[in-house]
Each structure stands twice: as structure tokens, then as C-alpha cells.
Structure 1
């Protein structure tokens, strides 16, 4: 018996438990992202410069914000095809209020976000309380909102925005603030590690090797400070990317630490079981569409602030980028599974492909073909992994 106990705690057993605990899909996407960066760095010396990486993180911010909002919709078993048109409509509304009506920035931001909430309530009501498929409701919204945008702007480009508004999409954090942010993130990672281990010990769950857990924390802390160093060597951490981090933290807490988040995953995992357990599915469905449209309105503000203008083509096809970022990041289109961290990685993959191929002067149609092929591949990997799990359970 002693021999068996030693064997179960030996190096081989620890290694096997570590391998089993790894989220293969997430790490595959991280390695894929690194591979993309290495490939483009060989093709162009400009790709890994601080300036280009800063532009890359600014470019991915809108997609990341959209994808964060989209995540809960997909996890709940639905889809939102209207977010790109909501970006255009709410961005156009913000520009009209500021440029034509001369409203101050703070009131423009509040009204624009409230417009997103209203859109989410309307679409969510049709899906949740009138049982119209989300695909149809949001497809109709995609066309209707684009038409409304053309109507209220009269087909014109609305510009320029006030300087205070432009800071939302064009400003950078001072170096000292960026360093402080890195310290805060490092402290949060270490606290999260300690708190997770303490909780597992408290409730009698198996705890992984402290050396491995510490190694993971050190790895991500090192990445954080490398990122801050690279950004500081140009202009500093971009403010739009700071917003992405803030929303990622909020939605991670919402998804993992609240009853609402657990209900959304339960609904997507098994709708009937969720209903029988007493979950108010209609109310939860309404809320995920409100959150998605609200995040789309925030993305619309960021987009207009970065470009200093609102156009009728703003946000076109953004819904596909958001869906692709979710799927590439490991979110299952079947519902019930997905992580915010994976969404951020997926958005980075999409933005890196756009950025790298633009630097290489690859024609736009090849960029679309490449992104489409990667999306199909990501969905196939998801289906393949799920089938393997099912076959393993059967076996």
C-alpha cells in the first residue's frame, strides 16, 4: 500500500495529472498566435516593432469588446448577427449628437450606451418572449439598423469629433500608470492562484502541484510586463486595450462567479434541464441580448473615437469577426462552453492576421479567404474534440 501511495505521488503521476489538467484547446490557440507572430516577423521586420504591436492592440480592441458581449449569447445557445450594424448605428448616433447637436462627450456616451440597451431589450424580447429564432431576429436587425444609420446620417460621413471624445479611442496611458497597472495585474494573478488553491483545499478537492501553478502565474506575469515594456517604448498602453482588460475582468467575474453566469452556461448546456431546475430562461435570454447590444454600442463609441468619424459602412462584417474570435477562442457554437480569455486570444488571432497580411500587402480577398478557412478549421476542431469526448465516455 505504501508503494502504491508513493507511486501515485511520484514524478510520473504528477506529470500525468498535469497533462490531464491542461486545456489543450486554449494552449493550441496560444501557440497558433505565437506561430502567426513568428511567421509575420520573418516576413517583415516591422511586424514585431513596438509601434505596430501598439496599433495591433488598438485594432483588436473593437473586435474583442464585441466578442466579449457575443460570448454569453453563444454560450446560451443563440447567435447575434446584428452587432456590426449596432456598432455602425450607435457610432453614427454618437457622431450626430456631438458634431451636429454639439452635445458634450459625457452625455453622448451615456445616451449611446442607453440606445444599445434599448436595442438589446427589443431584440431580446422577440427571442425570449415571442420565441422568434435569434438568427432571424438579429438578421432582421442587421438589415434594419444599417438602413436606419443611412437614414439618420443621410449617407454622409459625420466628423470631426471633439478632442475629449477622441481620447476614448486614441489616447495612451502614461508610463507610470502602465507600470502600476502591471503590478496590479501581477498581484491579482497571485491572489487568484492563492485563493483558488485555498478554496479547493477547503472543500476537499484535489489540488495541483504548487510548482506548476506558480510556474503558470510567473509565465503570465512575465508576459504582462513584457507587454507593458513594449507599449511603453512607443507611447504607452493604449486606452482602448485598457477598456478590453476591464470588460474582460467584469465579464469573467459575471460568467464564473455569479448565479446569472452559471445559469447561462446551464441553459446552453441543457435547456430542458435548466428549465426543470427552475431557471427563468426567458429573463436570462433577454439579458444576454441586452449585454451583447450594450457592448456593441461601447464598441461603436470606440470605433468612432479611433477613426474620428462615423460612416455608413462602419461596423460592416464585424459580427463575423466577433463570432470567429469566439469560436477560435474555444467557444462552442452548440452552447454551454466558452471562456473570456479564449475570446481575447481569438480576437488577437483575427487582428494579427489582418495586420500581418496588410503589412505584406496581401490583397483583401485573400485576407477574407484566410480568415474564413481558419473559422471553418476552428469549428471542425471543436466538433472533433466533442466527438472524441463523447466516444470516450461511451467507451
Structure 2
């Protein structure tokens, strides 16, 4: 129990947000009379929040380095507009337009990263200018009008599902995916535990370890069964899963990830330790530009149109997701998984409040309060540890 207590205290923010997410889901499940956790609504939650979760993955890297990016919503809108012009007006193949859009996003990220990393203009100013610049460019290239419809193949990015096999009444691809994920998760946990025991690290008791495995395997399979009960696994969920795995690996297992954390923890110390701080900052912004482009493509595919007002407040939702998920406003702290949890908290709040009929005014106020409390909780824990 002592080890369990220490484990919880050391990860109180992350575990606290998971507990908060569960509590919020149960609360809205009761308030909506069981509508929140219906398979169709679970699928809608994924589709509605996918572009924010993609942005949150990139934003958490920006925040860990001690910066901020206010331009991602405008970049997403601009890239969506560029993709519409290429596919609808110019007749480009979908794959060519998507690749070109990602290149555009990367170039925009490089433009902003140059000013932040090498000219040393604060990221707040650079990205605020970018927010205004690319919002204006979006309106110019669209001439104030929407462009639609996109090719059906492009629409499937955001609205399509993985094809099923057989005719069993339940989507077997989702069921099999749940089983495979459970097996992979159990193998990884057993391997990590064996490695920790080998080097005499403190681990939770065998009973608690088994309970943890049972609970998480149950969650995985209940989730995939819910998806199977509707239309199966959305295409966008596969993209999100791949991004989460790749970025979690980069941040936890690679030199680049360690350099990003070192830069956010103490830039001068990181520089003296051999970290190329300017280069790291530059590439983090390039990465954010590419992910903002992906988010813009997802949103355009879901809306089946490029509109001048697309991406409005995306940056605020992405930043809120990161802070709610445990990222520190002072840099050096945060995880990809935490940002995803924070994004899901925001998504469930939005969805639940809409289902019970709360107006947009109440929704904005409650989300603002949740963000304030999350950051206050972070500062309280820091002060408590420093005493």
C-alpha cells in the first residue's frame, strides 16, 4: 500500500485527470439518461474531437519546451482552404493534395519556428501574428465563400470506417482489435514489470498488478465492443492511435524526446549539456505545423467543405487539453497521453452539456472554470513539493 500511495502521489495529476474523466462520464451518463455512453454517441465523440486531439499532441510538445502556439486554428483553416482549392477547383488527386497540404503546414511551422528559435521573438507574439496572418489569408484565398464538396475518398478520412469481414451482426474487426490490443498490453506490462524487478525498482504488489491488468483489459474490450455495436472502428481512430503511439515513443524513448524535456526544464542548462536548443525549438514548431495541417484536413473532410471560419478557437481547446492533462505552464512537464486525456475531458464536457441542453454561454464558462482549476491544482502541487 505504501508503494501504491507513492505511485499515486508521484503521478497525482495524470491519475487525477483519469479519475476526473471517469467521474464526468458517469455524471453525464446519469444526467442524459444513458445517452452519453450509447455506441453511436461514443463514435460521435471520437469523430467530433479528433482534430482537437491531433492538435493537442503537437501542442503538448510546444508547451513542454516552454512556448505556446496561438496560430494552430488559423493554420488548420488555411490548409483546409488550400486543400479544397487543389482538390475541388484544380482537380488534383486526393493523395497529391494531402501531401501538398502537409508540406504547406510544415513550411508554415518552419516560418514561425525560425522567428522563435533564431530571431528570439517570443512565441506568443510570433504565433499571435500567425493567427491573424493565416486567418486573413484563408479569407483571401476563399474569397469569403465556402468551397465544397470534397471527393468521396477524402471525406472517408473523417467519416469512414474500417471494412468488416463476415456478417455476424456485430463488427468483428472491432472485436478482434480489442482482443489483440489486450494481448499486446498484457505482454508489455509483464515485460516492464520483469525489467523493474530485475533492477530492484519498487513495484506494486502482484495482486494490485493483476487488478490493474483486469481493469484496463476490461476497459479496452468494452470500448471496442461499443464501437462494434455501431459501425466499427472509424478511420480517424486508427490515425489517432498511430500518432499517439509514435509520439509517446519519441517523447519517452528517444534522444529527441529527452532534449525537448531538457529544453523546457532549463534552456541554459540544456544548452551547456550539448542540446542544440535552437534546432530543437525550430523542429518542434515544424512538427506543430504539420499536425495543424492534419487537423485542418480532418476538419475539412468532416465538414465536407472549406470555410473562412473553420478552426475558430481550436488553439484554445488544444491548449486547454494540454494543461488539463498535466502539462506545466512553466515548461518541462507534460505527456502525450495526458494531453489526450485532457482533450477527452473537454470533449466529454462539450458533448454532455450539449446533450442536456446547456447553452453555449454556460458551456464556455464551465470549460474556462475547469481549465483554471486544473492549472491551480498544478501550482498547488508544485508549491507543496517545494515546501
- Could you state the TM-score of these two structures normalised by the residue count of structure 2? 0.94
CA RMSD after TM alignment: 1.3
159-168 vs 353-362, which moves further: 353-362
Q: Is the 8 A contact 1:116 1:294 kept in 2?
A: yes
Separation in 1 of the partners of 2:137 and 2:176? 43
114-123 vs 179-188, which moves further: 179-188
| 2:26 is the counterpart of 1:26 | no
Pick one of 299, 303, 307 that aligns with 2:299.
Answer: 303
Shift of 1:202: 4.1
Separation in 1 of the partners of 2:87 and 2:375? 41
Counterpart for residue 65 of structure 1:
54
| 2:149 is the counterpart of 1:160 | yes
Q: Is the 8 A contact 2:172 2:228 kept in 1?
A: no
Pick one of 357, 366, 371 that aligns with 1:370.
Answer: 366
Counterpart for residue 43 of structure 1:
31
Shift of 1:366: 1.2
How do 1:57-136 and structure 2 match up within 5 A? 57-136=46-125
How do 1:222-233 and structure 2 match up within 5 A? 222-233=218-229
Shift of 1:234: 1.0
| 2:134 is the counterpart of 1:145 | yes
Shift of 1:341: 1.4
Counterpart for residue 390 of structure 1:
386
| 2:246 is the counterpart of 1:250 | yes
Query: Where does the alignment leave 5 or more consecutive residues of structure 2 unmatched?
Result: 165-170
Give secondary structure in 2 for the equivalent of 1:338.
coil
**1:39-86, Cα deviation, whole Å (9 max, x unpaired):** 222222322211112101111111110000101110011111111111
Shift of 1:242: 2.1
**1:188-238, Cα deviation, whole Å (9 max, x unpaired):** 312321232233344443343233233223322211110111111111122
**1:93-144, Cα deviation, whole Å (9 max, x unpaired):** 1111111111111111101111111111111111101101000000100000
Separation in 2 of the partners of 1:215 and 1:265? 32
Counterpart for residue 181 of structure 1:
177
| 2:298 is the counterpart of 1:318 | no
Give secondary structure in 2 for the equivalent of 1:160.
coil
How do 1:183-332 and structure 2 match up within 5 A? 183-332=179-328
Aligned length: 377
Runs of 4+ more than 4 Å apart: none
Shift of 1:241: 2.1
Shift of 1:343: 1.1
341-350 vs 256-265, which moves further: 341-350
Give secondary structure in 2 for the equivalent of 1:231.
helix
Q: Is the 8 A contact 2:54 2:291 kept in 1?
A: yes
Separation in 1 of the partners of 2:323 and 2:266? 19
Give secondary structure in 1 for the equivalent of 2:307.
coil
Q: Is the 8 A contact 2:54 2:295 kept in 1?
A: yes
Query: Where does the alignment leave 5 or more consecutive residues of structure 1 unmatched?
Result: 1-14
Q: Is the 8 A contact 2:62 2:69 kept in 1?
A: yes
Separation in 1 of the partners of 2:81 and 2:38? 33
Counterpart for residue 344 of structure 1:
340
Q: Is the 8 A contact 1:193 1:213 kept in 2?
A: no
- Could you state the TM-score of these two structures normalised by the residue count of structure 1? 0.93
Separation in 1 of the partners of 2:241 and 2:377? 27
